């Protein structure tokens, strides 16, 4: 039976809310009346108003349980639980598809990538946008391959990098899918097949795919030979990616990748490999590590279409020191972010805001930090705008293996933070940095992901 979890209501006082602790106040969400979307009559003689065909909704939230193999979908307009789904495997990761219609469920050990249709999506009918709203449903579609590990999205495309398995003699591969292809269960999907296994990563970019290359161990400059040290440029032909170019800059122990509008970057032991298209070909350069890193590698990167900066995360294998780096590929520079975690806190989750004008860092003490970029000395520099403590709990009571997690709405200035100790998800308004909603759970959340209809350039127009 489906249980209903309602948002707690709060009378919000006029003025600023204290940013260090939630006190005993309950929280609220301003609910919106449901909008019925009429059928498209395709009358070309009538100029349609987009308001007739678009849905005004805050979206939906996928929540992965840390206590069982269950994923639950909530309606963010009223906090109702829409449905829950028992997953095939017990160890899973959760993210969203490229256009946020689907929750992507992956189990690396079980060679599994599956999907839950969140039930909200948009179609562009040229004259107008047409939105759809249905009940969530588990999809029968799966993306197959060996050891799915890095799953990245960019501009409507989802790339799944399958590491392969040396013991089984299975090589690495990449599958790329749009939400439309997932919905239609397209077969075959655009695919890149390797002849060797590797712990790699791929970035989709229109008809192209920038993906890693693992050379023979005698040539490979990586210390860990399972890691690639080169990047190839692949072009899609009849559902198969064919190599067109190998970038001439080496990237030893390559791990992590991200992109913005103009550049694709990869983390290396000695710096960051930056690639961009010029006159029909990709050019690459190495942005060398700054002295502050002192042997640490940038192994995770975050990017956004609207941000000139990409944020690199450098840390040791012992999960000790963490250093955040502002990487600017246009200026070929990197510098330390002015914010670093407190001595008793470790960052546990990162994300850009939906418009790319803020970078969010959630730490192990339950503090959400909001950084913004400011013009200074002819360049952009990130500074801490404000912080909010989202937990009233004793964080030492965090269950072993769990942590706070967050996801960012793609249609407004909201971030959702999951607290496994209190077993709830908070909605936070990034503009005012106040808690405006609370979904109570009857299980500890492992991870969350926003689903729905993302704001588009058409919306701004």
pLDDT in tens, 143-192: 999 999 999 999 999 999 999 999 999 999 999 999 999 999 999 999 99
CB count in 10 Å sphere of residue 126:
5
State whether residue 178 is helix, strand or coil. coil
- Residue pair 313/340 in contact by the 8 Å Cβ criterion: no
Contacts of 52 (CB under 8 A, 6+ apart): 37, 38, 128
State whether residue 210 is helix, strand or coil. strand
CA 385/CA 209 separation, integer angstroms: 36
CB count in 10 Å sphere of residue 124:
10
- Residue pair 114/88 in contact by the 8 Å Cβ criterion: yes
H helices, E strands: number in the chain? 2, 34
Beta bridge partners of 105: 94, 114
For 417-442, how does the pLDDT look when each residue is reduced to its tens digit (9 = 90+)? 999 999 999 999 999 999 999 999 99
3-state helix, strand, coil in the chain (%, to 5): 5, 45, 50
DSSP state, residue 399: P
CA 234/CA 259 separation, integer angstroms: 16
Q: Is 99 exposed, middle or buried (0-12, 13-18, 19+ CB in 10 A)?
A: buried
Identify the H or E element spanning 353: none
Across 357-451, the runs of DSSP E, i.e. the strands, are 358-363, 367-376, 379-389, 405-408, 414-419, 424-429, 434-440, 445-451
The pLDDT of residue 394: 95
CA 13/CA 110 separation, integer angstroms: 50
Question: Phi, psi (5° rounding) for residue 395?
Answer: -65, -15
The pLDDT of residue 49: 55
Residue of 142, 66, 58 whose CA lies nearest to 104? 142
CA 216/CA 381 separation, integer angstroms: 41
Please give the torsion angle defined by the CA atoms of residues 449, 452, 458 and 460, in that order, rounded to the nearest 10 degrees: -70
Residue of 35, 37, 27 whose CA lies nearest to 58? 35
Q: Is 365 exposed, middle or buried (0-12, 13-18, 19+ CB in 10 A)?
A: middle
**Residues belonging to the chain:** 461
**C-alpha torsion sign, points 10, 13, 14, 20:** negative
The pLDDT of residue 460: 44
CA 33/CA 297 separation, integer angstroms: 49
The list of the chain residues with pLDDT below 50 reads 1-48, 458, 460-461
């Amino acid at each position: 039976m489906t249980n209903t979890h309602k948002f707690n209501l709060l009378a919000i006082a006029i003025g600023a809310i204290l940013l260090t602790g939630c006190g005993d106040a309950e929280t609220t969400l301003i609910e919106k009346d449901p909008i019925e979307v009429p059928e498209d009559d395709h009358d070309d003689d009538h100029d349609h108003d987009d308001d007739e065909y678009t849905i005004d909704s805050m979206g939906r939230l996928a929540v992965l349980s840390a206590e069982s193999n269950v994923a639950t979908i909530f309606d963010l307009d009223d906090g109702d639980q829409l449905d829950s789904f028992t997953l095939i495997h017990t160890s899973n990761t959760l993210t969203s598809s490229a256009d946020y219609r689907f929750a992507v469920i992956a189990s690396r050990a079980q060679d599994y990538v599956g999907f839950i249709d969140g039930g909200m999506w948009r179609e562009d009918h040229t004259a107008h946008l047409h939105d759809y709203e249905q009940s969530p449903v588990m999809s029968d579609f799966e993306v197959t391959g060996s050891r799915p590990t890095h799953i990245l999205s960019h501009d409507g495309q989802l790339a799944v990098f399958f590491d392969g398995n040396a013991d089984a003699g299975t090589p690495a591969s990449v599958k790329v899918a749009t939400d439309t292809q997932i919905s239609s269960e397209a077969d075959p999907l655009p695919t890149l097949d390797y002849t060797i296994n590797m712990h790699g990563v791929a970035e989709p970019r229109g008809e192209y795919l920038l993906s890693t290359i693992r050379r023979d161990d005698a040539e490979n400059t990586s210390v860990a030979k399972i890691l690639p040290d080169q990047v190839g440029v692949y072009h899609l032909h009849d559902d198969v990616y064919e190599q067109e170019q190998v970038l001439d800059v080496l990237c030893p122990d390559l791990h992590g990748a991200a992109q913005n509008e103009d550049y694709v970057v990869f983390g290396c032991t000695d710096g960051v490999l930056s690639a961009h298209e010029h006159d029909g070909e990709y050019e690459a350069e190495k942005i060398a590590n700054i002295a502050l890193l002192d042997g640490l590698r940038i192994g995770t990167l975050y990017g956004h279409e609207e941000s000139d900066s990409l944020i690199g995360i450098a840390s040791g294998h012992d999960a000790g020191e963490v250093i955040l780096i502002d990487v600017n590929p246009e200026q070929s520079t990197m510098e330390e972010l002015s914010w670093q975690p407190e001595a008793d806190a470790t960052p546990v989750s990162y994300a850009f805001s939906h418009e790319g004008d803020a970078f969010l860092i959630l730490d192990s003490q339950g503090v959400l930090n909001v950084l913004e970029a400011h013009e200074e000395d002819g360049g952009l520099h990130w500074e801490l705008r404000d912080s909010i403590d989202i937990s009233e709990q004793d964080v030492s009571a965090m269950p072993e293996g769990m942590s706070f997690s967050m996801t960012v709405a793609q249609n407004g200035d909201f971030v959702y933070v999951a607290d496994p100790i209190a077993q709830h998800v908070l909605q936070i308004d990034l503009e005012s940095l106040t808690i405006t909603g609370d979904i109570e759970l009857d299980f500890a959340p492992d991870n969350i992901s926003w689903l729905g209809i993302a704001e588009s350039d058409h919306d701004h127009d």
